[in-house]
Amino acid sequence: MSEDEVRRRAFAMPLTSPAFPPGPYRFVNREFFIITYRTDPAALAAVVPAPLEIAEPIVKYEFIRMPDSSGFGDYTESGQVIPVTYQGQKGGYVHAMYLDDGPPILGGRELWGFPKKLASPRLAVEKETLVGTLDCGSVRVVTATMGYKCVELDRDPVMASLTAPNFLLKIIPHVDGTARVCELVRYYMQDITFKGAWTGPADIELFRHALAPVAQLPVLEVLGASHILCDLTLGLGEVVHDYLA
């Protein structure tokens, strides 16, 4: 294989059989369960990287079911998103994500810089309750519940939240272990087809885990919850800040 062919074919690892295909990546019947809670301001400040800024000590804990995603298949993920601002623009900083399938872990980390780790999240309806759980091996890390479709939400505020920018800290190490890439990335969800959104009484419990430290952002007060169903395309990112420049 010539050097020119290597350059032409190089998209993702491994070279001759990439772990995920090129995008765009379309998600059909993507389902969100999001609990918004107030947390300790000092704990939040310790994990949000500058130049992002925190407006309020708020965390959004998310469970996401993706039964039909182009290139990535059927999987579930769970994690924490922190409302932030960047140069006055409101958005969300993706702090932690845990999911149960290899290609979206690899693609999410390598393309965008999603902070994805392997675990066992679950989102399901049990009788009249929407239930989200996260397990790492045999250890329960998160349990969240909400009344199923108790109150329908207006479309416009939900769409505003879905179309807001999101931010990631993309880190790729050099072969000597130092950072070769360290960038703040911004991305958007695009071409959204809204299919419904609901709320209801909700609660969440976080359990301490050494390697899945979601409880380091403790739940002080549950502020609300939403259950959203939509189709969308996950847009590729743009670098807005280079920490190594």
In terms of Cβ atoms closer than 10 Å to its own Cβ (0-12, 13-18, 19+), residue 214 is: buried
237 φ, ψ (degrees, to nearest 5): -95, 175
The single residue of 60, 90, 116, 195 carrying the catalytic annotation is: 116
220 φ, ψ (degrees, to nearest 5): -95, -35
9 φ, ψ (degrees, to nearest 5): -90, -15
pLDDT, one tens digit per residue, over 122-150 is 999 999 999 999 999 999 999 999 999 99
Whole-Å CA distances, 38 to 32, 45, 72, 203, 224: 19, 13, 33, 12, 10
Residue 118 banded pLDDT, cuts 50, 70, 90: very high
> Is 149 a known active-site residue?
no
3-state secondary structure of 144: strand
**Domain coordinates of the chain in residue numbers?**
23-234
Q: What is the pLDDT of residue 90?
A: 97
Residue 92 banded pLDDT, cuts 50, 70, 90: very high
Q: What is the DSSP string of 148-186?
A: TT-EEPPHHHHHHHHHS-EEEEEEEE-TTSSEEEEEEEE
Mean pLDDT over 107-111 rounds to 96
Percent of the chain topping pLDDT 90: 99
- 23-234: CATH class: mainly beta
Mean pLDDT score of the chain: 97
Q: What is the pLDDT of residue 218?
A: 98
Residue 156 banded pLDDT, cuts 50, 70, 90: very high
